[in-house]
Amino acid sequence: MSDISDLETAILGLLYEEPYYGYQLEKTIEGWGMRNWTQIGFSSIYYVLRKLEKKELVESKLEKVEGKPSRKVFTITDLGRRTMREKLIDLLSWNKKLISPFDLGLAYLNYLKPQEVVECLENYLKSAQGRIKFLESSVKTQEELNAPYYVVALFSRPLACLKTEMVWVEKFIEKIKKEENI
């Protein structure tokens, strides 16, 4: 199997069902709200497409458009389909380590005063509340639209994780306050 990154997987997944040109990919990424669950910038789309083409996972051809410049349309290859399926099986089968900048902050929180740590964590809880509202609204919207279960999962899973994390942060704040007599 060709080793592909998560970013390459995101683009390859879009090409799995139909060919796209770069600008169409950007519009689809925006329309699906993909930037809520994957890190893909507009500027990286063409870079990733070139990488996929080098790996022979996609192929391109120029398409003439009357009155406009030609555009490059990308199509997934059979190797691309096999690679995508193998990557999906891997992604869905194994729990993988997640690296969070929050953990970096935890590693060095002893450089702050306990009261500062508590204030930071309370701010974190406030900011998480906004994300929770967004995710709850997104779940509701997707359910009202009768979106497929896997689309709803893109919002309900991070919602469940965030709610669990908030409980942990609240308990951690309590522990700091108790141990530091705040």
**pLDDT digit of tens for each residue in the chain (182 aa)?**
568 999 999 999 999 989 998 889 999 998 888 887 888 888 899 999 999 999 999 999 998 878 888 889 999 999 999 999 999 999 999 998 888 999 999 999 999 999 999 999 999 999 999 999 999 999 999 999 999 999 899 999 999 999 999 999 999 999 999 999 98
Task: Tell me which residue of 100, 105, 167, 182 sits closest to 132, measured CA to CA.
Answer: 167
pTM to 2 decimals?
0.80
Any alpha helices (H) in 43-148, and if so which ranges? 44-54, 78-93, 101-107, 114-144
For residue 75, the cross-strand partners are: 59
Task: Tell me which residue of 5, 170, 21 sits closest to 84, measured CA to CA.
Answer: 5
